[in-house]
Amino acid sequence: MSTAVASATPAATTTSVARPTLSRLRDGALLIGPLVVLALSLGYPLALAVSRSFTDRDDNYVGTRTWANAVSEASVQKAFVRTLEVSALSTVGCVVVGTFVAFVLAFIPFSGSSVVVRIIEAVVSLPSFLIPLALGVLFGPVGVVSSSTGHRFTFMSSVFGVVLATVAFYTPFVVRPLLAAFSQFPTAQIDVASSLGARPLRIASRVILPAVWPALAAAASLTFLLTLNEFGIVLFTGAKDVVTLPMLIYTTSIISSDFATAAVLATIQLMLSLSAYLLYRAVVRRFDTTGA
């Protein structure tokens, strides 16, 4: 009997050792699979675009000559500044409008507020180009409002029109996080501040906003990241003088067929996006209270 027990023990030990090994192999396969898909679908095109930026229009390697020519062009410099300008103004507009809307929905109850929230959430599911098309029907060069007022309101073809359309589309990205933060805010603090004689504006600025600042900062960073890469709104607004980097990449590659310069611009846009993403992650990590 002791012989049988002794012979069974090594088998049990072998089985217990094999199970963690199989588990590690399975976990490795589950990790490698997505990494391979990402490398082929995302990493390879990005690497190809970056490598193409060191060639000329005939696909000959020229080092940094294409970079020097592209960066020195006034149109590229203007597009770079315009991209940051539109993104910054749009982010500020989204924060201001989104904070106001979230305040009203959270602290000023009214009939139909839940319907308004659903409409705001539904805007995110719409294609971004529908917003400038709708605003163009009203305020475009041949829009309803501009036609009825002698073409006095044609701001849709300007920077203001692009920012307006961008704010209209991306404001829900600020409203929704703030509503979630407001729902966790203890209303007893508002009652205490009100009983001490604080007015609504002071309560909002001194009591409520400091408590939801992490959510607001994260929402603003995410909005800046998204608006930095916006293409459809700028294109369908029809603002010819508003040329951002995504627009310049499109015209350089599709219309001018200068893929080398377009690759330089795409690489610059990529670096901008990565910088904005790192900023977003830094903000989230800075204000993360969950320890994640």
Q: How far apart are CA 282 and CA 256, in angstroms?
A: 38
pLDDT at 55: 92
Across the chain, mean pLDDT equals 82
Evaluate whether residue 248 is within a structural domain.
Answer: yes
Most confident of 182-186, 206-210, 233-237: 233-237
Single out the residue of 129, 158, 130 nearest to residue 232, CA to CA: 129
Evaluate whether residue 198 is within a structural domain.
Answer: yes
pLDDT digits (tens, 9 = 90+) for 126-168: 888 888 888 877 777 666 776 776 666 667 778 888 999 999 9
pLDDT at 128: 83
Which structure tokens are listed for 199?
Answer: 């007015």
pLDDT at 94 exceeding the cut of 90 = yes
pLDDT at 15: 55
pLDDT at 76: 93
Q: Which residues contact 262 (CB under 8 A, 6 or more apart)?
A: 249, 252, 253
Helix/strand/coil (H, E, C) string of the chain? CHHHHHHHHHHHHHHHHHHHHHHHHHHHHHHHHHHHHHHHHHHHHHHHHHHHCCECCCCCECCCHHHHHHHHCHHHHHHHHHHHHHHHHHHHHHHHHHHHHHHHHHHCCCCCHHHHHHHHHHHHHCCCCHHHHHHHHHHCCCCHHHHHCCCCCCHHHCHHHHHHHHHHHHCHHHHHHHHHHHHCCCHHHHHHHHHCCCCHHHHHHHHHHHHHHHHHHHHHHHHHHHHHCCCHHHHHHCCCCCCCHHHHHHHHHHHCCCHHHHHHHHHHHHHHHHHHHHHHHHHHHHCCCCCC
Domain count of the chain? 1
CATH number of the domain where residue 237 is located: 1.10.3720.10
Evaluate whether residue 75 is within a structural domain.
Answer: yes
pLDDT band, residue 74 (cuts 50/70/90): very high
Mean pLDDT of all residues in 163-191: 86
Structural domain of 236: 65-286
Mean pLDDT of all residues in 235-255: 89
pLDDT at 199 exceeding the cut of 80 = no
Q: Which comes out higher in pLDDT, residue 38 or 268?
A: 268
CB 171: neighbour CB atoms within 10 A?
25
Mean pLDDT of all residues in 67-95: 94
Contact between 213 and 205 (Cβ < 8 Å): no
Q: How far apart are CA 63 and CA 60, in angstroms?
A: 9
Evaluate whether residue 78 is within a structural domain.
Answer: yes
Q: How far apart are CA 132 and CA 112, in angstroms?
A: 27
Evaluate whether residue 212 is within a structural domain.
Answer: yes
Evaluate whether residue 113 is within a structural domain.
Answer: yes
Mean pLDDT of all residues in 67-82: 93
Evaluate whether residue 22 is within a structural domain.
Answer: no
pLDDT band, residue 19 (cuts 50/70/90): low
pLDDT at 5: 47
Evaluate whether residue 291 is within a structural domain.
Answer: no
**pTM (2 d.p.):** 0.79
